[in-house]
C-alpha cells in the first residue's frame, strides 16, 4: 500500500521536472523521434536477419567456397553487418522523418527501398541458391543503387548520405569477393 503513493509521487515529480526542462510539446516530439528512429533501426536489422535466415547456413556455405585473396574470416561478417544495418536504419530515419521536400523524400525513399530489397535478395541468391554469377550481377545493381542514393542526397541531406559511406565501401569489397567466388567456384 505504501509503494503506490511513493511511485505516484516519484512519477509526478519526474513529469514536472521534465516539463520544466523541455516542455510538454518538446518532450513529446523527442519521444516521437526516438520511437521512429528505433523502429527504423529495428526494421532494417530484422530485414538483414530474415535475409540471412532465408539464405540458409551462410557460415557453412562460406567455408565450402574457394575464396579469393583478402577474404575475411567469417566472424567479421557478424560484426560488420549489424553495424552497417544500424547506419542504414539511421539514414532511412533521416530521409523519412526529417523535414525535406516531398520530391526529395520520394526519390531518396525509392532508392532506399530498392537498395534494401536488393540487399535482402543478394544473400539468398548467392549463398542460398549458390548462384554466384547471378549474385555478382545483383551486387553490381546494389553498388549502383547505393552510389545513386549517396550522390542524390549529398547536397540534400548530407548526414544521411555520409551514413552510407561505410556501407558503400563494404559492398564494393563484397563485389570483389563475389566476382572472385564466381570465378573460383
- 121-173 pLDDT, tens per residue? 999 999 999 999 999 999 999 999 999 999 999 999 999 999 999 999 999 99
Residue listed under C-alpha cell 520520394? 106
Question: Percentage of the chain surpassing pLDDT 90?
Answer: 82
Output the pLDDT for position 2. 45
82 has pLDDT over 70: yes
Give DSSP secondary structure letters for 85-154.
HHHHHHHHHHHHHS---HHHHHHHHHHHHHHHHHHHHHHIIIIIS--HHHHHHHHHHHHHHHHHHHHHHT
Residue listed under C-alpha cell 516530439? 29
**How many domains is the chain built from?**
1
Nearest to 120 by CA among 31, 33, 34, 48: 48
Is residue 85 domain-resident? yes
Find the CATH number of the domain harbouring 36: 1.20.1260
Question: CB of 61 within 8 A of CB of 126?
Answer: no
Query: Which residues are CB-neighbours of 148 under 8 A, at least 6 positions away?
Result: 111
Is residue 70 domain-resident? yes
Output the pLDDT for position 25. 81
**Does 16 or 94 have the greater pLDDT score?**
94
How many Cα atoms occupy the beta-carbon half-sphere of 4 within 13 Å? Answer: 1
Query: Which residues are CB-neighbours of 61 under 8 A, at least 6 positions away?
Result: 55, 127, 130
Q: Would you place residue 26 in the very low, low, confident or very high pLDDT band (cuts 50, 70, 90)?
A: confident
Output the pLDDT for position 98. 86
Cell triple for 50 = 530474415
Is residue 17 domain-resident? no
Is residue 63 domain-resident? yes
Mean predicted confidence (pLDDT) in 38-61: 97
Q: What is the pTM of this model?
A: 0.85
Task: Please provide the size of the chain in residues.
Answer: 185
Is residue 44 domain-resident? yes
Mean predicted confidence (pLDDT) in 43-63: 96
> What mean pLDDT is reported for the chain?
90
Is residue 61 domain-resident? yes
Is residue 105 domain-resident? yes
Give DSSP secondary structure letters for 63-99.
HTSPPPTTPPPHHHHHHHHHHHHHHHHHHHHHHHHS-
Output the pLDDT for position 184. 98
Q: Would you place residue 14 in the very low, low, confident or very high pLDDT band (cuts 50, 70, 90)?
A: very low
Cα(136)–Cα(66) distance, integer angstroms: 15
Mean predicted confidence (pLDDT) in 98-103: 91
Is residue 8 domain-resident? no
**How far out from the chain centre does Cα 91 lie?**
8
Cell triple for 27 = 518532450
Q: Would you place residue 28 in the very low, low, confident or very high pLDDT band (cuts 50, 70, 90)?
A: confident
Q: What's the domain range around 143?
A: 23-184
Amino acid at each position: 500500500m505504501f509503494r503506490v503513493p511513493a511511485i505516484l509521487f516519484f512519477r509526478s515529480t519526474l513529469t514536472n521536472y521534465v516539463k520544466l526542462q523541455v516542455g510538454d510539446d518538446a518532450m513529446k516530439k523527442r519521444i516521437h523521434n526516438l520511437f521512429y528512429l528505433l523502429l527504423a533501426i529495428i526494421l532494417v536489422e530484422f530485414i538483414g536477419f530474415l535475409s540471412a535466415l532465408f539464405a540458409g547456413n551462410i557460415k557453412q556455405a562460406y567455408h565450402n567456397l574457394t575464396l579469393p585473396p583478402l577474404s575475411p574470416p567469417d566472424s567479421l561478417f557478424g560484426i560488420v553487418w549489424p553495424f552497417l544495418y544500424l547506419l542504414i536504419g539511421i539514414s532511412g530515419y533521416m530521409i523519412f522523418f526529417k523535414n525535406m521536400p516531398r520530391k526529395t523524400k520520394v526519390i531518396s525513399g525509392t532508392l532506399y527501398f530498392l537498395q534494401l530489397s536488393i540487399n535482402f535478395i543478394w544473400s539468398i541468391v548467392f549463398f542460398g541458391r549458390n548462384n554466384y554469377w547471378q549474385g555478382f550481377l545483383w551486387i553490381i545493381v546494389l553498388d549502383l543503387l547505393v552510389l545513386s542514393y549517396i550522390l542524390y542526397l549529398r547536397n540534400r541531406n548530407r548526414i544521411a548520405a555520409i551514413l552510407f559511406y561505410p556501407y558503400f565501401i563494404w559492398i564494393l569489397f563484397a563485389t570483389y569477393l563475389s566476382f572472385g567466388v564466381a570465378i573460383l567456384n
